[in-house]
Structure 1
Amino acid sequence: MILSISGIVLFGTIAFLFFRRDGLKVSHAIVCALFGFYIAGSSIAPSITAGGASLASLLGGLKF
C-alpha cells in the first residue's frame, strides 16, 4: 500500500506540472494514464467512484 500511495503522489504531481507547464503531449498522457491506474488500485477508489456518481446525480437533477 505504501508503494501505491507513493506512486499516486508521484504521478499526480507530475501530471499537475505537465498541465501547468504546457499542453498535454503523448508522454504526458502516458503519465496521466499511470496515475489513473494507481488511483484505481488504491483504497480511495471507492470514495472517488461514489463522489463521481454523486456529482453525476446532482448534475442530472438540475432543471434549466
Structure 2
Amino acid sequence: MAVSISAVVLLGMIVFVLIRGGSVRLGPALACAGFGFFLASTGAAPTITDAIGTVTSWISSI
C-alpha cells in the first residue's frame, strides 16, 4: 500500500511538472489518467501490480 501511494505521488508530481513546463498539455495528460483509471479495473491490473511490486522490491534490495 505504501508503495502505491508513493508511486501515485511521484507520478503526480512528474505530470504536474510536465504540464507546467509545457512539455505535456492538459488534454493528453487527462487522457492518460483516464486510461490508467480504466486499466486498473481490467484483468491486467493484478499483473501490473505484481510487476511493479517486484521491481520496487528489487530496487530496495540494491
**TM (normalized to structure 1)?**
0.59
* Letter of the 1:32 counterpart: C
2:36 alignment partner in structure 1: 36
Superposed counterparts of 1:21-60, under 5 Å: 23-60=23-60
1:11 alignment partner in structure 2: none
C-alpha RMSD of the superposition = 1.4
- Count of aligned pairs between the two proteins: 41
Misfit runs of 4+, over 6 Å: none
Greater relative contact order (Cα 8 A, min sep 6): structure 1 or 2? 1
Q: Percent identity?
A: 29
Q: Distance in 1 between matches of 2:33 and 2:27?
A: 10
